[in-house]
Amino acid sequence: MLYLLVSHNNKSKRLEGSSSFLADLYELVQYSGNIVPRLYMMIAIGTTYMGTTDAPTKELMKDMIEMCRGVQHPIRGLFLRYYLSQRIKNLLPMSSEKDFNETVSFLVLNFIEMNKLWVRLQHQGHSSERELRHRERKELRILVGLNLVRLSQVLDEYTDSHTGSVSGVELYRDNIFPVITDQIIQCRDLLAQSYLVDVLIQIFPDEMHLATLHPLLNEVFVRLHPHLRKSELVTSLIDRLINGSSEEMKLANLFETFWDFYLQLVKLDSDIPSEEHSQLLQVFIKLSLTFDPENYDNLNQIFQHASQKLIRKDAADEESLWVDLMTVPVRFFPLVIELLLLPFFHKLFENITSPQLKRQLGVEILDKLLASKGTTYQSSDEIDAIFKYLQVLVVETGSEVNTAKDLGVTLSIKVGDDSMVSQAFLDVQEKLCKIIHFVDGSDHLKAVSNLLYLRKKYLNKNLKNIVYTYPTLVQRILMKLRLGLAKKNDDDENKELVLTSNFKNVAMVIDELYQHHAEYNAEIALKLNVNAASVADQMNQEKIAYEFFTQAFTVYEESLSTGRGTGLNAHDSMGGSVSYQLVVMIANKLASLRHFSRENYESLITKNTMYGSRLLKKQDQCRLVYLCGHLWWWCELLTLVSETMNEDNERIEHDESKEEAENEEKGEDDTKENDTKSEKPKLYRDPKRVLECLQKALRIADSCMDPYLSVRLFVEVLNRCLEFHIYGNELVDLRYINGLIELIRTNLDNLADDGVDGNERQLYYSIRAYYDRTLHYIEEQQYLEAQFVGVVI
């Protein structure tokens, strides 16, 4: 650097006079006995000299690069030549075409020599240090690569200046490309080839690659080191082309060119590892999708090749590669359904034997299908098209968590029958359910038959898993049925027939589910039955609805009446056992029925009330009985709701919330006789049975051994009484209410004295507060609405 500085100073001196100062200096430094410093000095001075006017630029340039041959030590040589190219980069002659050619040959020569040195570095030193050499070479590669970068820049400049008679592209094709690639091939070095070809691909502009694409593929790539992973190079080339994707490229038959290359490659080297095939084909797919997205033939061609030539039966461990190959188009294809229809895509899919991989691919397809919003599957053909890929998710789910393999890494979830499944499995099942929602038809009834087709052909192939998919299927069928038949005229002769047969199918589906999952998932069957009943009622099909209810009761009695699950806090009216919840749910559905004969209805509600009174726990019995009281006293609020056909079938639980709503809205009850229901001009009301229910509830509450719970239930019944009073049940009169209040007060007073310790005090206060609120409400109503006048507070 000192020399450099000195030479710069001298240069400025030179401008004043002594013309050949730098020339002399250039000669003088050549007396230096050691070659490396000599050459550095020559370059420092020579390049400075080149920067002056009238300097013999080209001669200097040639002389320096020629003399650099003296340094054959790889690392020193690399750095020396790198220094030369750095120093000279802004001084290269570019003014004429001749200049330019010399510049190019200078750069090419430097590149060739540097590459030789770089390759030779590998063979230096002891063989045990081979790895070290390799690392060193990797670190030094940029020195070699920069020559190509410089060439590319020079070409750019040339193209911009328009000095020459030939274009930059032609020049690259005819003068630069052959020399460079020849050197790359000749060096027969793995690292050099992979790095340099990559650099070549990255730094020269697209149009140059287009001009040399054919020779690059068919003459260069195929002659590279046999162990070189050509797929990486092809990938980066194609990525490059894709990112550039100019118009002219669309015109070029890129895919054919690459495909020919691939066939040639396969012909020349039959031992290409499968990874390579897979990688190559993957980028071809990308290429085809980018430049010719409508052309499915290319893809089919690829899959045909893969399924016929590449997949070997005995190489299961390679299958993941083919799955990768298939995943690429699934991810990038705009219309995945078109892809699924390609015959060889399916062939390839069929060839994969590992269920796990098939599943993986199935999930990819599933995700993609779900992502393409608005697509529906209208025919059995379309269902076949997608489900031949998805069936693996239904059949070979791999739901069992193998603890030995997973070592507990996978999050597992316990399902009903104590077996463990993974979250991933549940996610997949959920996605399948989503797909079921995309199954449609030209009309609603067609959709129903498509859904049934789907179930028969695919879903019921693994009975273990129908528990996940059938609920969705049934709900979808019910929805379609309701929509489909609501539009038909009532006088349609076929309607009855169609309805009956379809509901029978629904019953069959639910029954199938129940048959296989009675032990742990009977609730689902019950809920589905009740929902189906509700829909049937809305379609004015009393007989069918009745059957569904009967079925629901059967399920209840067979599997659910034993009351698993407990509401932990007996004082919480929201809680209760599973059985309690189910009976409440049935009661809810019963309350919304509107097309039943009195006889059938009473038979159903009586049965339901009976179930209620037979529950295991006192508090459950009591609450159910007073709730069932409502079944004998229709309220117009519910009627209005049931008239709108769009009621959501899935609203099952939490009837309490509805009741509270009723409690609060009871002020509106003066509209009650305005009901316009055509078939039943009068709402079904039976005050006597209501009273009986309340009495029964009181009796059960009274028989409670826990005095606190007993009083609490009394207060709850009192609230119901107030409600029925407002509804206008004359049997629940003021006297009755007064009696009840009196009873509660007495009981509360008894409790007020003894309970002293914390927990019981708490309970007492909470009941007391509840009771006080109730009384306060009555008082308020007396004052505001003139109701309950005569109730003694």
Range 98-157, binding another protein (CB under 8 A): 116, 120
Q: Report the residue from 4, 6, 23, 35 that binds another protein according to the rule CB under 8 A.
A: 35
Judged by CB, which is closer to another protein: 76, or 745? 76
Element (H, E) at 412: strand 412-414
Closest distance to another protein from the beta carbon of 79 (Å): 12
Closest distance to another protein from the beta carbon of 297 (Å): 50
Range 60-99, binding another protein (CB under 8 A): 66-67, 69-74, 76-77
Judged by CB, which is closer to another protein: 35, or 424? 35
Judged by CB, which is closer to another protein: 72, or 657? 72
Closest distance to another protein from the beta carbon of 126 (Å): 12
Q: Report the residue from 1, 12, 16, 34 that binds another protein according to the rule CB under 8 A.
A: 34
Judged by CB, which is closer to another protein: 19, or 30? 30
Nearest 10 degrees: Cα torsion 667, 671, 672, 677: -140
User: How far is Cα 441 from Cα 66, in angstroms, rounded to an integer?
Assistant: 80
Q: Report the residue from 2, 12, 16, 33 that binds another protein according to the rule CB under 8 A.
A: 33
Judged by CB, which is closer to another protein: 26, or 258? 26
Q: In this structure, are residues 201 and 209 in contact, taking their beta carbons and an 8 Å threshold? A: yes
Judged by CB, which is closer to another protein: 27, or 256? 27
Nearest 5°: CA angle at 562, between 558 and 567? 140
Closest distance to another protein from the beta carbon of 36 (Å): 6
Q: In this structure, are residues 220 and 255 in contact, taking their beta carbons and an 8 Å threshold? A: no
Closest distance to another protein from the beta carbon of 137 (Å): 16
Judged by CB, which is closer to another protein: 28, or 268? 28
Q: What's the DSSP call for residue 377?
A: B
Q: Report the residue from 36, 191, 337, 420 that binds another protein according to the rule CB under 8 A.
A: 36
Nearest 5°: CA angle at 462, between 458 and 466? 85
Give phi and psi for 439, each to the nearest 5.
Answer: -75, 130
- Length of the chain as a residue count: 793
How many CB atoms neighbour CB 634 within 10 A? Answer: 23
Q: Look at residue 414 and give its three-state secondary structure.
A: strand
**Of 32-40, 389-397, 460-468, 604-612: span binding another protein (CB under 8 A):** 32-40
User: How far is Cα 217 from Cα 262, in angstroms, rounded to an integer?
Assistant: 9
How many CB atoms neighbour CB 642 within 10 A? Answer: 18
User: Could you tell me which of 67, 98, 96 has the C-alpha nearest to residue 80?
Assistant: 67
Closest distance to another protein from the beta carbon of 102 (Å): 19
Q: Report the residue from 5, 15, 28, 132 that binds another protein according to the rule CB under 8 A.
A: 28
**Of 4-12, 34-42, 555-563, 565-573: span binding another protein (CB under 8 A):** 34-42
Q: Report the residue from 9, 19, 30, 402 that binds another protein according to the rule CB under 8 A.
A: 30
Q: CA quadruple 346, 351, 353, 354: dihedral positive or negative? A: negative
Closest distance to another protein from the beta carbon of 341 (Å): 59
For residue 179, the Cα-to-chain-centroid distance in whole angstroms is 50
Q: In this structure, are residues 474 and 528 in contact, taking their beta carbons and an 8 Å threshold? A: yes
Range 298-317, binding another protein (CB under 8 A): none
Closest distance to another protein from the beta carbon of 26 (Å): 11
Q: What's the DSSP call for residue 205?
A: -
User: How far is Cα 101 from Cα 108, in angstroms, rounded to an integer?
Assistant: 10
Question: In this structure, what token pair is assigned to residue 339?
Answer: 């892809």
Closest distance to another protein from the beta carbon of 39 (Å): 9
Judged by CB, which is closer to another protein: 78, or 196? 78
Question: In this structure, what token pair is assigned to residue 210?
Answer: 């287009």
Q: In this structure, are residues 512 and 571 in contact, taking their beta carbons and an 8 Å threshold? A: no
Q: Look at residue 597 and give its three-state secondary structure.
A: coil
User: Could you tell me which of 718, 709, 700, 715 has the C-alpha nearest to residue 618?
Assistant: 700
Q: By CB under 8 A, is residue 516 in contact with another protein? A: no
Closest distance to another protein from the beta carbon of 225 (Å): 19
Q: In this structure, are residues 380 and 455 in contact, taking their beta carbons and an 8 Å threshold? A: no
Closest distance to another protein from the beta carbon of 119 (Å): 10
Judged by CB, which is closer to another protein: 124, or 703? 124
Q: In this structure, are residues 312 and 321 in contact, taking their beta carbons and an 8 Å threshold? A: no
Judged by CB, which is closer to another protein: 28, or 486? 28
User: How far is Cα 545 from Cα 681, in angstroms, rounded to an integer?
Assistant: 21
User: How far is Cα 69 from Cα 764, in angstroms, rounded to an integer?
Assistant: 104
Burial of 561 (0-12, 13-18, 19+ CB in 10 A): middle
Question: In this structure, what token pair is assigned to residue 82?
Answer: 């790198």
Judged by CB, which is closer to another protein: 28, or 263? 28
Judged by CB, which is closer to another protein: 78, or 590? 78
Closest distance to another protein from the beta carbon of 32 (Å): 9
Judged by CB, which is closer to another protein: 127, or 676? 127
- Partners of 422 in the beta sheet? 412
**Of 35-43, 213-221, 312-320, 763-771: span binding another protein (CB under 8 A):** 35-43
Judged by CB, which is closer to another protein: 35, or 341? 35
**Of 25-33, 50-58, 424-432, 444-452: span binding another protein (CB under 8 A):** 25-33
Total residues at interface with another protein (CB under 8 A): 21
Closest distance to another protein from the beta carbon of 66 (Å): 6
Give the residues lining the site for another protein (CB under 8 A): 27-28, 30-31, 33-36, 38, 66-67, 69-74, 76-77, 116, 120
